[in-house]
Chains A and B, each alone.
Chain A
Amino acid sequence: MKHTLSVLVENCPGALSRITGLFSGRGFNIESLSVAPTLDPTLSHLTLVTRGDEFIIEQIIKQLNRLVDVYKVVDVSEGEFVEREMALIKVRAEDETRAEILRMCDIFRCKVVDVSPKTYTIEVTGPESKMKAVTELLKPLGIKEIARTGTIAMAREKKSV
């Protein structure tokens, strides 16, 4: 089962390495990871997507909490939550496909953020499923480069970190 964990961690050197080291050392797996400081600059918010049965997820959460630098861990996928990811996709855009790409952008509410004679660079935002859909559709047209942020997530309403 896929789980999305929201982790508040002290914004200090080595903290991220402790977390990733914990995952590799104990054989847990990280599907995606994104980190940035919160409003409180001494804390970082880390969103981590992982997989495992309930025992493994329980161990992961407990092990994370055991780290001295970890302030709080919430499994946001336990309840209702929103998740977003952003990708920049540089796609081949020749005369015959330029219009089609723009139509697709329209449908998926993507933005073209850079244009060259032979390419468009598209900004896509959404849940992971949308990333998949967009990349699948653009693939036949020729994706030259792709950069993704990894998922960030937040529990809906009251259950905030």
Chain B
Amino acid sequence: MAGKDIIVEALKQEGVEVIFGFPGGAIIDINDALEKDGTIKYVLVRHEQGATHAADGYARATGKVGVCLVTSGPGATNTVTGIATAYMDSIPMVVLTGQVPTALIGNDAFQEVDIVGITRPCTKHNYLVKDVKDLPRILKEAFYLARTGRPGPVLIDLPKDVQNQKAEFKYPETIKLRSYNPVLEPHNKQIRRAYRLIEKAKRPIIYAGGGVIISGAHKELKTLAETIHAPVTMTLMGLGGFPGTHEYSLGMLGMHGSYCANMAMANTDLIIAVGARFDDRVTGKIEAFAPLAKIIHIDIDPTSIQKNVKVDVPIVGDSKLALKKLNKIIHEEGRPDEAWKDLHAAWWDQIKAWEKRHPLTYKLDKDVIKPQYVIEKLYEMTKDKDPIITTEVGQNQMWAAQFFKFDKPRTLLTSGGLGTMGYGFPAAIGAQMAFPDRLVIDIAGDGSIQMNIQEMATAMEQRLPVKIVILNNEFLGMVRQWQELFYDKRYAATKFHVTPDFVKIAEAYGANGFRATKPGDVESVLEQGLNAEGLTIMEFAIAKEEGVFPMVPAGKATTEMLLV
């Protein structure tokens, strides 16, 4: 069997349903083999970055491995941003790149680039296949590495001659990787030590990150919070890991987190961190972070533990397994519900007082549309439809995180770690490919949407009814906000003097376009847009200089919040 057919067979055995890609000379043979075989759906994007984000969105929405197929050279380099995005957020992905024939490698051949070298620091692992006989093993390993342990993107570079060499196809059933053995099962002794801290804590808080969603630990997390009556705050990546509408949810913490969440973190005596990594957007000034707290840190990646903060009880393992064990011990210890409640009653009084003092809020305006109002309305109108929300990056992302309530895991797809503008729309395409019947909405800004707007054609071609909400302030709003606050309002390079007519853009692609310019139009435009058939843009001309608050200025302690 030829290399290209081995690849198609292997992808089938891995259960791959859809591939996002863009063709070229060095990958044409695999496109041909896929076409002849006809089992796997191929989505032709308009730019390779779009393919990686779409595969990423597919992976985040389903938990399966997303797959991309691109050509050598520029095709491969265009995937780098998407790969780095997936790497930072631990998203399982396999990226197949074409490469010039082995004999030409190193010769500066046409469309040759050392993509394995380029992506080494932003992939979990990568391969250059030099012998067709290695191909089945490498494909098997790639999918295994992508989805196990702390997931991540894996790249396989496929020289054109290898794609056409023949070898016997036998897909390995088992994997032998002596150097890769992620620890899943947490240490019992550590779990017990964790319980000893929980038992004594008077002001505990659960700090949940993306690991909760990746490991599917949302049920266990809810059990833990409800059993010990502890508040839960989430990172951007953790939203949906605990119901946003739950009475114990304090919402997001960190730079644009709620006042209450940040105050609780600053005053807690015990942080129970689950699948989170104490990122700088969460901790603020590290010396001032949670000064009174002991820390229990559950994470599958040992490097995340003790990287930024000193941890009292490190627990290396899968979040779900760890929480299961912890819940079991709590249950066995048998402290009555009332006792937990009493222990934390004063803490809850304090939290409620913070919540009351500075709730998440904004000032309505009767003449100008406030972006927060759009998100609130969008939430109200779609919450019963179990939507998947994707976001771009910047103010749109933060308003979505603050004002949309995510009750289920895998309902918010957003670029957290890398903060990639242009992520949301192609990610929505990936999510909609996975769930054709669900409502998929990209919450965008006028800046971000223009970074991958070419994928409108992809969505039309695939007949995907993605809804795009554009919060248009004719600014790169988040940077503008920093300039307003810290650069004496010098709006260097953030004002868009030309912004396209998004309604006309929608129409040009054959999609639907609606625009609201007054607060009174918001509901009707959402109504029309959400009910319109097929790809739809809803554009909202929002208050140009609206800011995201609360805000912890970079480098400040998280208690030093700027409020509305």
- A24 to B, closest residue via Cβ: B121
Q: Are B306 and A68 interface neighbours, CB within 8 A? A: no
Q: Are B302 and A21 interface neighbours, CB within 8 A? A: no
Contact residues in B for A68 (Cβ distance below 8 Å) = 124-125, 145, 177, 179-180
Minimum distance in angstroms from B472 CB to a CB of chain A: 38
Contact residues in B for A22 (Cβ distance below 8 Å) = 121
Give the total number of A-B pairs whose CB atoms are below 8 A apart: 38
Q: Are A71 and B179 interface neighbours, CB within 8 A? A: yes
Q: Check: B434 CB closer than 8 A to any chain A CB.
A: no
Of A10, A21, A63, the contact of B120 (CB 8 Å cutoff): A21
Q: Are B120 and A66 interface neighbours, CB within 8 A? A: no
Interface string of B82-123 (1 = CB under 8 A from A): 000000000000000000000000000000000011001100
Q: Are B180 and A63 interface neighbours, CB within 8 A? A: no
Q: Check: B189 CB closer than 8 A to any chain A CB.
A: no
Q: Check: B178 CB closer than 8 A to any chain A CB.
A: yes
Q: Are B303 and A62 interface neighbours, CB within 8 A? A: yes
Q: Are A59 and B303 interface neighbours, CB within 8 A? A: yes
Q: Check: A70 CB closer than 8 A to any chain B CB.
A: yes
Minimum distance in angstroms from B3 CB to a CB of chain A: 19
Task: Tell me the chain B residues, 222-241 only, with Cβ under 8 Å from chain A.
Answer: none
Q: Check: B307 CB closer than 8 A to any chain A CB.
A: yes
Q: Are A14 and B116 interface neighbours, CB within 8 A? A: yes
Q: Are B179 and A17 interface neighbours, CB within 8 A? A: no
Chain B interface residue count, CB cutoff 8 Å, equals 18
Minimum distance in angstroms from B505 CB to a CB of chain A: 39
Q: Check: B516 CB closer than 8 A to any chain A CB.
A: no
Minimum distance in angstroms from A156 CB to a CB of chain B: 26
Task: Tell me the chain A residues, 48-75 only, with Cβ under 8 Å from chain B.
Answer: 55, 58-59, 62-63, 65-71
What separation, in Å, do the CA atoms of A122 and B180 have in the docked complex?
43
Q: Check: A140 CB closer than 8 A to any chain B CB.
A: no
Q: Check: B301 CB closer than 8 A to any chain A CB.
A: yes
Q: Are A63 and B128 interface neighbours, CB within 8 A? A: no
What separation, in Å, do the CA atoms of A58 and B179 have in the docked complex?
19
Contact residues in A for B306 (Cβ distance below 8 Å) = 55, 58-59
Minimum distance in angstroms from B35 CB to a CB of chain A: 32
Task: Tell me the chain B residues, 151-179 only, with Cβ under 8 Å from chain A.
Answer: 177-179
What separation, in Å, do the CA atoms of A69 and B178 have in the docked complex?
9
Contact residues in B for A67 (Cβ distance below 8 Å) = 179
Minimum distance in angstroms from A135 CB to a CB of chain B: 36
Interface string of A15-47 (1 = CB under 8 A from B): 001100110010000000000000000000000
Q: Are A17 and B117 interface neighbours, CB within 8 A? A: yes
Q: Are A69 and B120 interface neighbours, CB within 8 A? A: no
Q: Are A66 and B121 also in contact (CB < 8 A) when A55-B306, A59-B307 are?
A: no
Minimum distance in angstroms from B68 CB to a CB of chain A: 20
Minimum distance in angstroms from B487 CB to a CB of chain A: 28
- B120 to A, closest residue via Cβ: A21
Interface string of B286-324 (1 = CB under 8 A from A): 000000000000000111001100000000000000000
Of B116, B124, B179, B307, the contact of A70 (CB 8 Å cutoff): B179
Contact residues in B for A10 (Cβ distance below 8 Å) = 179
Q: Are B303 and A69 interface neighbours, CB within 8 A? A: no
Task: Tell me the chain B residues, 304-349 only, with Cβ under 8 Å from chain A.
Answer: 306-307
Contact residues in A for B116 (Cβ distance below 8 Å) = 14
What separation, in Å, do the CA atoms of A75 and B121 have in the docked complex?
24
Q: Are A71 and B307 also in contact (CB < 8 A) when A14-B116, A62-B302 are?
A: no
Q: Are B128 and A13 interface neighbours, CB within 8 A? A: yes
Contact residues in B for A71 (Cβ distance below 8 Å) = 178-179
Minimum distance in angstroms from A109 CB to a CB of chain B: 39
What separation, in Å, do the CA atoms of A58 and B303 have in the docked complex?
9
Q: Are B303 and A63 interface neighbours, CB within 8 A? A: yes
Minimum distance in angstroms from A66 CB to a CB of chain B: 5
Contact residues in A for B145 (Cβ distance below 8 Å) = 68
What separation, in Å, do the CA atoms of A96 and B116 have in the docked complex?
57
Q: Are B302 and A69 interface neighbours, CB within 8 A? A: no
What separation, in Å, do the CA atoms of A16 and B301 have in the docked complex?
22
Contact residues in B for A69 (Cβ distance below 8 Å) = 125, 179
What separation, in Å, do the CA atoms of A67 and B306 have in the docked complex?
18
Q: Are B302 and A17 interface neighbours, CB within 8 A? A: no
Subset of 9 A-B contacts with CB under 8 Å: A13-B128, A14-B116, A62-B303, A63-B303, A65-B302, A67-B179, A68-B125, A68-B179, A69-B179
Residues in chain B within 8 A of chain A (CB atoms): 116-117, 120-121, 124-126, 128, 145, 177-180, 301-303, 306-307
